[in-house]
């Protein structure tokens, strides 16, 4: 039983490490070769849980990762990228549905309308372009009259707001972000004391506005009482 548990743990850790080697894009974009590589890795990783062939499975996993990395590098070339991923497909142009492209892309009208509604657009006439991206997501570009007004539309100059940096996440100090704002733990604890917080574990989330240098806190429910 212990051997089985150790096998599961080893394959779990190894698979996570290999997925990290594939890069974050493989999780976010999920291109066709990302999807295929993920399925193959999952299948190979499950083999040692059924059989005793642990080392051969690691060897096969390494080969899959090498092939994936080669494909990822090749996909940076425009021609190969088009071959591997395909091109974006316009599904809606200036409020008109392009039925042929819907059929070629195997996207039903119900699916398209549902995606538009969840994006906040109930009418096709509000859409300038709806584009099916190679990654499978649909980009929606609304007509100028349908998009939310921005500060530039109102001739208002927006002030620079800076980048919010997390200082505490779930009671743990984020040391790298503290260094980015050129502060230390003593400074952070003083900021917490100003807000009557003495225990860092009581803070579920704290961030600093890098423009104003103000620290904002979210306390655990028990700490608010």
Asked if residue 100 belongs to a domain, the reply is yes
Lookup: tokens for 64: 């899959």
Lookup: tokens for 180: 């980015």
Q: Alpha-carbon distance 37 to 26, whole Å? A: 9
My answer on whether 69 and 98 are in the same domain is no
Last residue of a domain, one of 35, 60, 81: 81
My answer on whether 8 and 49 are in the same domain is yes
Phi/psi for 150 (5° steps) reads -105, 170
Total domain count, the chain: 3
My answer on whether 123 and 169 are in the same domain is no
pLDDT of amino acid 4: 60
CB 95 within 8 A of CB 127: yes
- Domain CATH number, residue 126: 3.30.240.20
pLDDT of amino acid 55: 76
My answer on whether 55 and 124 are in the same domain is no
My answer on whether 6 and 76 are in the same domain is yes
Domain that holds residue 39: 2-81
CA distances from 208 to 57, 146, 204 (A): 46, 34, 14
My answer on whether 169 and 135 are in the same domain is no
pLDDT of amino acid 174: 92
pLDDT tens digit at each of 225 positions of the chain: 566 666 667 666 776 676 666 665 555 556 666 777 777 777 777 776 666 677 777 777 788 878 877 877 777 777 776 776 777 899 999 989 998 998 888 888 888 989 899 988 888 888 999 999 877 788 999 988 777 767 676 676 666 666 788 999 988 999 999 998 889 999 999 999 998 998 999 999 999 987 778 889 999 876 555
My answer on whether 69 and 103 are in the same domain is no
Lookup: tokens for 194: 């100003």
Mention every residue, 6+ apart, whose C-beta is less than 8 A from residue 39: none
My answer on whether 6 and 69 are in the same domain is yes
Phi/psi for 181 (5° steps) reads -90, 10
Asked if residue 57 belongs to a domain, the reply is yes
């Amino acid at each position: 039983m212990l051997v089985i548990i150790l096998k599961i743990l080893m394959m779990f850790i190894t698979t996570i490490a290999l997925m990290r080697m594939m890069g974050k894009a493989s999780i976010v974009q999920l291109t066709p070769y990302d999807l295929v590589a993920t399925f193959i890795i999952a299948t190979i990783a499950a083999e040692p849980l059924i059989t005793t062939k642990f080392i051969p499975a690691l060897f096969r996993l390494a080969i899959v990762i090498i092939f994936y990395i080669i494909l990822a590098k090749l996909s940076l070339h425009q021609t190969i990228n088009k071959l591997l991923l395909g091109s974006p497909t316009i599904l809606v142009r200036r409020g008109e549905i392009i039925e042929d492209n819907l059929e070629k892309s195997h996207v039903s009208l119900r699916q398209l309308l549902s995606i538009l509604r969840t994006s906040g657009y109930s009418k096709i006439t509000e859409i300038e372009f709806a584009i099916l991206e190679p990654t499978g997501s649909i980009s929606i570009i609304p007509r100028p009259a349908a998009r939310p007004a921005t500060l530039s539309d109102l001739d208002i100059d927006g002030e620079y707001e800076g980048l919010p940096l997390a200082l505490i996440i779930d009671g743990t100090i984020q040391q790298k972000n503290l260094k980015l704002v050129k502060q230390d733990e003593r400074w952070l604890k003083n900021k917490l004391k100003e807000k009557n917080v003495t225990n860092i574990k009581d803070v579920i989330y704290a961030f600093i506005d890098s423009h104003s240098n103000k620290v904002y806190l979210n306390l655990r429910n028990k700490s608010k009482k």
